Structure 1
Amino acid sequence: MDRIEGKHDPSRRGRETMIAVPNTLNELRLHMAHTTRTRIFQAIAALGLLISTVTAQANSLEAVNVSQGAENSQVVKITLSEALAAMPPYFATTNPHRIVLDFANVDNAMGRRSETVDAGVVHGYNVVHAADRTRVVVDLNGPATYSLRKDKNILLIALHGARVAPGAAQPAHFASADAGTTFNIRDVAFRRGKNGEGRIEVNLSDPGVGIDIKQKGAAIQLDFLNTTLPQALQRRLDVSEFATPAQTVETFAQGKATRMIVKPKGKWDYVAYQTGRNFILEVTSLEGVTGQAADKKKYDGEKLSLDFQNVDVRSVLKVIADFTGKNIVAADSVTGNVTIRLKDVPWDQALDVVLRAKGLDKRMNGNVIWVEQSDALTKKEEEEKRARQSSEELEPLLTRNYKLNYVRADDAMTIISGGSRSANNVDNAPTCSPSSEGLKLQNASSGANTSGGATISNQRGAVETKANNRVLSIRGAASYDLTSNTLIITDIADRHAKVEEVLKGIDLPSRQVMIEARIVLADDSFGRTLGARLGVQTGGTISGNRIGIGTGNSSSPAAINGVTTTSTPSYNVDLPANILSYSNSASSLGFTLFSAAAETLLSLELQALEQDNRGKILSNPKVITTNLKPAVILQGRQIPYQTISQSGTQTTFKDALLCLLVAPQVLNNDDIIMDVEVQKDAQGENTSAGPAINVKRVLTQVRVKNGETAVLGGIFEQTQRNDTSKVPLLGDIPVLGSLFRNNSKADEKSEMLIFLTPRILQ
């Protein structure tokens, strides 16, 4: 084998280089093979070292076991290959009942993804691995309370599914406490929320404070475990003046914990959540509210529970998106971590809590929720608004005619221009009066302005009352023609589409209502009276002694057969029977004793009357009208009477009417709100100034279901009298005293009832 050696050249400067050159081709091949094997072995060794290093650093899920615990409980044991640095984020759902845990940077080394166990409250579990996260879903057979505890590489979930006796307090473990650690309560404050709820805010020294919540009777009891409470915060707050359901908040030390008792009133519910070190309890009212509270935001999403400790806010948003099935898109500016605890909170409220904790806001468009910083989102909307306005200023104007079928064109123009349509014209409203002005129809003389209408443009007029509600653009204009009931709109194409949408919602047939009233007048009276007359007369022309008897009435004394006198009868005792209602006179019975020798006539007259009267008057007016349009129907008479003045004798009239005046409003649930006036007049007694009018009237507003009858009101009147007139001393004599006294007894009852029945005409 030839060898070629290199020799040193004295003429070259620098380091000496010796090159060994193989003498044969075989040696060259052997040298190259050896070098290649060496490099491959080195690469494999480096790759193995890298894999072993990565494997040593990664954590993996090794087992999930379900076992029976104490007191009818189940324990889910999750075992990992390495110890957990912190409690994994988790949340719970109620429909279906589940507990979901997310393990970051954990692989699934179990070899299976799901298992059904049906052990007590636990139905089974599922394990899903995606990217660098493993999710464990524990399916439950029903509602259960739970608590979590970690011990190195083991995570334990204790579940209690036993039913609680009615009325017993069931504690909710809002947050588990870290064993062996003592925390502090820094502050307790109460505020009234924007929607009228009571907000109790507790500032904690650490986010890991364990909290138990339970309803105890009519109060809410909170226990902050392993905490100390400063003496200044041990107090009872009276918060009743804040106009929230919460009335008192009492905080005091209870052993190694801090206890808080919140006492609300009425029907209420509560929700608890925690962001960082701030724990918040909101107490909301469940009773019906009116006015501004009716328009305030309410959360109605499915409830869930969340517990995240220093987790990326994007991960929290992803959990909510997975729970709701909605698409949540976050802007690049959405960054940072969040610590939050929520217990049985509607998901839409949970989303708002997360966004508020990081200064974010959202906009919903269909099934997509866009999340961004609040100020950036507001700025972007303002820029879009300015861009739309600039575009509207350059678009060409189009004029279109809209023929309306049901709504008046002038009313439609009022709405399109930002005003509100009023159903009643106060100046022309009908009244319970037979005069022409009282019965004139609303807008009956509107012919003076039925063509053309009033053009509404940039000018501020009586119609344009709310510029912010205008459907038209700044350049838009509206007019109308009542003859053809046509609305004329000039505006850009985009605003014409909005006008069509508004007209589609208001150009609907008005519903008609028939209102039937029944006015019942009933009276019942009973009276009894007894009187006597006793007198002596002289100068009669009659022979012999006689005894006579006769009958008569109170206006004509009893006549005695065969007895005539030349003088007017005179009674020494004149106590006749009183005239009762509905009677002209009382019956009388007279006795006469005459002595011819003494020319004396002794007269005795007894009068008695008993009355029993019953009466009933039923009035049944009916009227049909359109929704929100007042209507009146009346019947009666005008009673004439004469008055004397300097110009002579004049005839004047007084009205005695039966009238029904009603203005109905039909609601979406077919309930009817009515402004009602019912009047029932009758002629009373005559006086020197003319006849009196007995007036019965009711004016009210009532809400009635379709076809049902409501009693608007009634008047019951009862008069009882027991009168006695007598001669002193003589009238008190037993038996004979009846000749010297008058007794009168009366009992009168009258009642009026008014019924109202509305029926919607289909």
Structure 2
Amino acid sequence: MDLPGVANGLGKSVVDINQGNLRSVAVATAGDRTRLVLNLRQPSNYRVELQGKALVVVLDNASAPALATSGDATHFAKPQNDNPLPVRDIDFRRGPDGTGRVVVSLASTQVGVDIRQQGQSLVVEFLRSSLPDTLRRRLDVADFGTPVQSIASFQTGDRVRLVVEPKGAWEHSAYQNDNQFVLEVKPLKADPNKLVQGPGYSGEKLSLNFQNIEVRALLQVIADFTNFNVVTSDTVTGSVTLRLKDVPWDQALDIIMQSKGLGVRKNGNVLWIAPKDELAAKEQLDLEARKKLAELEPLRTQSFQLNYTKADEVAKGLSGQSTSGGSSSGSGGNSNASSSSNSSSGAGNQTQRMLSPRGSVIFETRTNQLFVTDIPSKLEEIQALIAKIDIPVRQVLIEARIVEADDKFGRTLGVKLGGADLRGNAGGIPGYSVAGGNYVQIGSNYANLGRQLSGTAGAVNITDGSTQLVNLPAATLNGQSAASLALSLFSPTANRLLNLELSALEADGKGKIISSPRVITADQGKAIIEQGEEIPYQVASSSGATSIQFKKASLKLEVTPQITPEGSVIMDLDVAKDSRGTDTIGGPAINTKHAKTQVLVENGGTVVIGGIFTQEERTDVNKVPLLGDIPVLGHLFRNTSKVTNKTELLIFITPKIVTERGAAR
């Protein structure tokens, strides 16, 4: 309310009321008029009456307080279902940059969703929905390192209500993918010069309507409204005309600053307002003064005891040297602030110094201590740096499981067929008569025929191989000989023989080899664990002398883990499973199974980094031409071998971040 021709005789610009809906009254004078601004807790209807010399303002009763604290609901999706649909699952996950994600699995895309901010909480309501008893709970998710501290879910009428409790400065967004609704709460980094933390402008809204009001008076009005202490430079002059309605006060101040080329610096609850050039000049003078002070300020020496970090590495970092540089003498070393080491342009190992040009550092490796001489402000910076880097390195336990399975099956069939005619040994005529008084004798080879026709007693031994017409026995499998069955057909005088030997072998084998190496190592530290044997073999030199050399056949796990900020583990893996093979003239052969890769696995999760499956099927047939192809009887003139081998290799990796409690155990 503007009162023309009235001055402020109260002696103050703000009158605190704090009764009912009225919080305070701000009094501002501009020219020949005075403006009264009534700061209400919430919107209200009013009427103004003039009773004599008194101006009476009557405020109607405000609405219920609960309505004021509840923000307007955002209708994310309208309900399209007639009957209540169940909520299937409620989960929480950590996203990139510390984002908290509340993931709700719905039964259908027809479920309506309302979102509103109630105080510091986010309330999500799923319309015409039901919540199973197993999901009516409160999740404490503060350990995930996101703004979300807890999630509560419960049933209210025909709605499922989800109350998300964030902390600090944050902003939220929501989206839905098929039946999955996701609410994201992202942290906001605080800006020390921002008047009100949060996304965009979020200060309390006000309305301003002034014509040709002095900038200094307008700033005083905003200061009274916000309860900030304002320091205005003497160079702030001029007037401004503006009309703002329901605008956040921080946005209104920003508009005034931009229109007049002013800048603002915030220090606690004090705002310093001056022209931008003046602020820049003042800051430049402060920097130059601090620089001169650093050149004249007395030096101090402070010792730092390091627990987990090597003192020499920290000293080289403070003095701008690489970890491979620096000097040491005995158990300690010195890194000073000489101008040559600080301005050398040819040294590739020079990095940015943290010490001042006058500072120096000495390290003692025996006690792992640092002795830093520098100005007090630099000592405080170094102390803060050491507090951040001198911390225990987290450790990771890597468990590997190498599973080798094989399934072997083999079957082989064979036959031996032989015959002998021994009538020549008894004075008879061997062989069989043909036309013209000729005879035909059958034998396995010339030697066998000659002995049968010689008529010499004992010339033919029916047990040796010379009597065999077909010699195709079953082959051995896995070093085992085949079983055999022999039949012999002979004449009554036992001077003509026909021998038959059948052999068969079937082998079936299954095996499994499980190797489980495990190793623990520090974050980003390489670890190697190896077990096996070194096989010796002889090698001849050019001079003829022999020497002994060795080949490794071992199980080896080499890993370099890296713990991510969100708690997962990135691993550079090199897994090898070697075994001794067959012996050759040049030395033993090595059967190698090797996998090298990089994987990302969540803490405690298991991943299969590799698998090799081989299947070998082999069928061999050895036969007598033509005779071996005769149906049924052809089996007497051939042998058959069938082998099926299956092998499978799987490598499982499970990383586990070792906590302090787990390390103590």
- Structure showing greater relative contact order (alpha-carbon pairs closer than 8 Å, 6 or more residues apart): 2
Deviation at 1:640, TM superposition (A): 0.5
User: Does 1:408 find its partner at 2:310?
Assistant: yes
CA contact (8 A) 1:307 1:340 kept: no
Q: Report what 1:681 is aligned to.
A: 578
CA contact (8 A) 2:622 2:639 kept: yes
User: Does 1:381 find its partner at 2:381?
Assistant: no
Name structure 1 gaps, 5 residues minimum: 1-50, 56-95, 102-107, 125-138, 146-161, 169-194, 196-216, 218-267, 271-284, 426-445, 546-561
Q: 1:637 aligns with which of 505, 521, 533?
A: 533
Post-superposition Cα deviations, 1:366-389, rounded to whole Å, max 9, x if no partner, equal 555656665554443333222211
Counterparts of 1:210-359 in structure 2, within 5 Å, are 301=198
User: Does 1:509 find its partner at 2:392?
Assistant: yes
1 CA distance for matches of 2:197 and 2:573?
Answer: 38
User: Does 1:417 find its partner at 2:319?
Assistant: yes
Count of residues in correspondence between the two structures: 480
**2:645 partner letter:** D
Deviation at 1:523, TM superposition (A): 1.6
Q: Alpha carbons of 1:286 and 1:698: their partners in 2 closer, same or farther (altered >3 Å)? A: farther
Deviation at 1:719, TM superposition (A): 0.8
1 CA distance for matches of 2:313 and 2:80?
Answer: 57
Post-superposition Cα deviations, 1:709-730, rounded to whole Å, max 9, x if no partner, equal 4225232313131424254655
1 CA distance for matches of 2:190 and 2:323?
Answer: 21
Q: Report what 1:522 is aligned to.
A: 404
Post-superposition Cα deviations, 1:322-364, rounded to whole Å, max 9, x if no partner, equal 999876767655988799999999x999998997898776655
Q: Report what 1:754 is aligned to.
A: 652
Deviation at 1:643, TM superposition (A): 1.5
User: Does 1:623 find its partner at 2:528?
Assistant: no
Q: 1:143 aligns with which of 72, 75, 79?
A: 72
Q: 1:391 aligns with which of 271, 281, 293?
A: 293
**1:515 partner letter:** L
CA contact (8 A) 2:556 2:577 kept: yes
Q: 1:565 aligns with which of 462, 469, 473?
A: 462
Q: Alpha carbons of 1:594 and 1:352: their partners in 2 closer, same or farther (altered >3 Å)? A: farther
CA contact (8 A) 1:717 1:751 kept: yes
Query: TM (normalized to structure 2)?
Result: 0.56
Deviation at 1:746, TM superposition (A): 0.6
2 CA distance for matches of 1:141 and 1:503?
Answer: 46
**1:393 partner letter:** E
Q: Alpha carbons of 1:454 and 1:387: their partners in 2 closer, same or farther (altered >3 Å)? A: closer
**2:588 partner letter:** P
User: Does 1:498 find its partner at 2:381?
Assistant: yes
Post-superposition Cα deviations, 1:74-101, rounded to whole Å, max 9, x if no partner, equal xxxxxxxxxxxxxxxxxxxxxx9x7799
**1:384 partner letter:** D
CA contact (8 A) 2:607 2:652 kept: yes
CA contact (8 A) 1:539 1:599 kept: yes
2 CA distance for matches of 1:314 and 1:603?
Answer: 128
**2:412 partner letter:** L
**1:394 partner letter:** L
1 CA distance for matches of 2:588 and 2:355?
Answer: 61
2 CA distance for matches of 1:684 and 1:358?
Answer: 87
**1:652 partner letter:** Q
1 CA distance for matches of 2:80 and 2:240?
Answer: 40
Deviation at 1:608, TM superposition (A): 2.5
1 CA distance for matches of 2:610 and 2:295?
Answer: 64
Specify the SS of the correspondent of 1:471.
coil
**1:618 partner letter:** I
CA contact (8 A) 1:529 1:577 kept: no
Deviation at 1:494, TM superposition (A): 2.1
Q: Alpha carbons of 1:352 and 1:112: their partners in 2 closer, same or farther (altered >3 Å)? A: closer
1 CA distance for matches of 2:227 and 2:631?
Answer: 100
Deviation at 1:452, TM superposition (A): 1.7
Q: Alpha carbons of 1:627 and 1:699: their partners in 2 closer, same or farther (altered >3 Å)? A: same
CA contact (8 A) 1:709 1:757 kept: yes
Deviation at 1:653, TM superposition (A): 0.1
CA contact (8 A) 2:44 2:60 kept: no
Q: Report what 1:480 is aligned to.
A: 363
Deviation at 1:527, TM superposition (A): 1.4
1 CA distance for matches of 2:4 and 2:358?
Answer: 72
**1:408 partner letter:** K
Q: Alpha carbons of 1:324 and 1:703: their partners in 2 closer, same or farther (altered >3 Å)? A: farther
Q: 1:452 aligns with which of 333, 340, 344?
A: 333
CA contact (8 A) 1:539 1:567 kept: no
Identity over the aligned pairs, expressed in percent? 34
Deviation at 1:652, TM superposition (A): 0.7
Q: Report what 1:609 is aligned to.
A: 505
Deviation at 1:618, TM superposition (A): 2.7
Deviation at 1:596, TM superposition (A): 8.8
Q: Alpha carbons of 1:576 and 1:717: their partners in 2 closer, same or farther (altered >3 Å)? A: farther
Specify the SS of the correspondent of 1:452.
strand
Deviation at 1:638, TM superposition (A): 0.6
Counterparts of 1:36-185 in structure 2, within 5 Å, are 111-113=57-59, 115-117=61-63, 139=68, 141-143=70-72, 165-166=78-79
Post-superposition Cα deviations, 1:684-720, rounded to whole Å, max 9, x if no partner, equal 22222211222233334445555x1422523231313
2 CA distance for matches of 1:340 and 1:578?
Answer: 105
